[in-house]
Amino acid sequence: MKLKGILPFSKQLIDLAAAPGDTVVDATCGNGNDTLYLAEKVTETGHVYAFDIQEAAIQNAQLKTQDHAHITFIQDGHEHVSQYVTEAISCAIFNLGYLPKGDKSITTLPETTITAITELFNLLKPGGIIILVIYPGHAEGQIEKEAVLQFLSEFDQNLAHIIQYGFINQKNNPPFVCAIEESGT
């Protein structure tokens, strides 16, 4: 297949946005896959802030990234990001929903996700990108998808370029990506 799948596409966006030396945020570190990718991308001259509300997720992500010292793990909601991150960031990523193989009753929620997007947008460098991988295949995810798409569709087009990428002929509400690029004006 030549078209990128959802997760490879999200990584391609990280490649576009993040470079060695940058500060970046994994807003939902979960098992640490994106945390590791970000850490390798920004190298030890950069820094990754990784958020999750679950201790189990932070532990899994720490294990996966143990060779990298330039990561700060924060067991708190991403909606509080501005309490922890004050420098400009080039990239942030969310994988919404619940922890794979974890407690499915603990999921990201529309209100806190939108608060976090707003806070992170205020930290973005010109041309920086926020990536959202959205999972509408479960009930809470469907509600979150509607709320996030509503919020993004009303975002000022002078401030950001916002895209949606996904496969429209897949069954069972497949995941898709939205990306918010700070317009640099």
CA atoms of 8 and 11, how far apart (whole Å):
5
Cβ of residue 36: shortest distance to ligand SAM, in angstroms?
8
Q: Which of 7, 16, 19, 53 binds ligand SAM (CB under 6 A)?
A: 53
Cβ of residue 2: shortest distance to ligand SAM, in angstroms?
25
Cβ of residue 16: shortest distance to ligand SAM, in angstroms?
18
What residue is closest to ligand SAM based on CB? 30
CA distances from 59 to 6, 65, 81, 120, 136 (A): 26, 10, 19, 24, 26
Amino acid letter, residue 89? I
Q: Examine residue 33 and tell whether it contacts ligand SAM (CB under 6 A).
A: yes
Do residues 69 and 50 make contact, with C-beta atoms less than 8 angstroms apart? Answer: no
Q: Which is nearer to ligand SAM, 23 or 95 (CB)?
A: 95
Q: DSSP per residue over 144-161, as a string? A: HHHHHHHHHHTS-TTTEE
Q: Examine residue 54 and tell whether it contacts ligand SAM (CB under 6 A).
A: yes
Dihedrals phi, psi of 183, to nearest 5 degrees: -75, -15
Q: Which is nearer to ligand SAM, 33 or 90 (CB)?
A: 33
Q: Examine residue 51 and tell whether it contacts ligand SAM (CB under 6 A).
A: yes
Rounded-to-5 percentages of helix, strand, coil across the chain:
35, 25, 40
Binding site for ligand SAM (CB under 6 A): 28, 30-34, 51-54, 57, 77-79, 95, 97-100, 106, 108, 112
